[in-house]
Amino acid sequence: MASILLKAKQIFKGVTTLNAIGLLTLGFFTFLMARITAEYLPYNTDIGFLRIKQDYIDIDHWRIAFFVHVYASMWALLAGFTQFSSQIQSYHPRAHRALGYIYVTNVLIITGPAALLMAVYANGGPPSKIAFVALAIGWIAFTAIALVKAKNRDFASHRKFMIRSYALTLSALTLRAWKWGLTNSVSDLPPMDVYRAVAWLGWVPNLIVAEMLIRKYYFAERLRPVYVLFVGLGERSFKVLIKKCKGVAQSGNLIIS
């Protein structure tokens, strides 16, 4: 028990209030997502989203893609979530790599292709289909590039593309949040117009925020060596000045401590 508590303390060490709020928010929406997923267990074809997809439910490859996407996407959401913990990377590098491979395998081989196939059959006509196809292609592409960068040990670029990839993974949550917001704030908006809107709102803002985070983080990283250089020079200069002042004071029978 003590060892478990110690490991938990190491993992959550250094978590700021803002990060904690973000983690709790993500956990809450992930829980809601899990509840939605549970409704389809074990094989319910007349509930939730499937009620408006009855024209496609008898198409074997679409039906298989849907259930694969529903069941596997939760694993991508959870595995990807762990990849940005510096504590897990530092104290549990093997777990970080194992969960990373689970995430990448899920997106590239299972959930991503299923999402791409489903996108072709999206409701709402070309606007929705283009949005979901672009989302699926971007999700697969960013994840594949992140994997290649990790293999080449270019971990700075790997992190950038993982941020982009996970931003698109979170579209499973943000799409539903936008849908809830629009349906509760604009009551006279037709349901299909809401669907067309959230097809884009579910992931484009995520990607914009991801790019902002990447630029902010890496701009700070580029400035770090300059900051360290000037701070180091300042500290050394100050120490040299103190030594000189002490020397002058001692020669004049003064004491500076």
Q: What is the pLDDT of residues 82-122, one digit of tens each?
A: 776 667 777 777 888 888 889 999 999 999 999 999 999 99
**How far, CA to CA in Å, does 218 sit from each of 147, 157, 170, 223?**
20, 10, 22, 9
**Within a domain: residue 251?**
no
**Within a domain: residue 207?**
no
Q: What is the mean pLDDT of the chain?
A: 78
Phi and psi at 243, nearest 5°, equal -60, -45
**Within a domain: residue 37?**
yes
pLDDT of residue 69: 84
Q: Lowest-confidence range among 38-42, 103-107, 146-150, 243-247? A: 243-247
Considering only CA atoms, which of 196, 171, 156, 189 is closest in space to residue 80?
171
pLDDT of residue 189: 83
**Within a domain: residue 250?**
no
The residue-averaged pLDDT of 227-233 equals 50
**Within a domain: residue 245?**
no
**Structure-token pair, residue 48:** 């939730």
For the entire predicted model, the pTM comes to 0.73
**Within a domain: residue 213?**
no
Q: How many domains does the chain have?
A: 1
**Within a domain: residue 85?**
yes
> Please, are residues 194 and 99 in contact by the beta-carbon 8 Å criterion?
no
Structural domain range at position 142:
16-202
Could you give the 3-state DSSP secondary structure of residue 196?
helix
> Please, are residues 106 and 199 in contact by the beta-carbon 8 Å criterion?
no
The residue-averaged pLDDT of 38-55 equals 74
**Structure-token pair, residue 7:** 């490991």
> Please, are residues 117 and 67 in contact by the beta-carbon 8 Å criterion?
no
Position 254 confidence tier, pLDDT thresholds 50, 70, 90: very low
**Structure-token pair, residue 212:** 């902002």
**Structure-token pair, residue 169:** 């993974």
Given CA atoms 241, 242, 247, 252 in this order, what sign does their dihedral have? positive
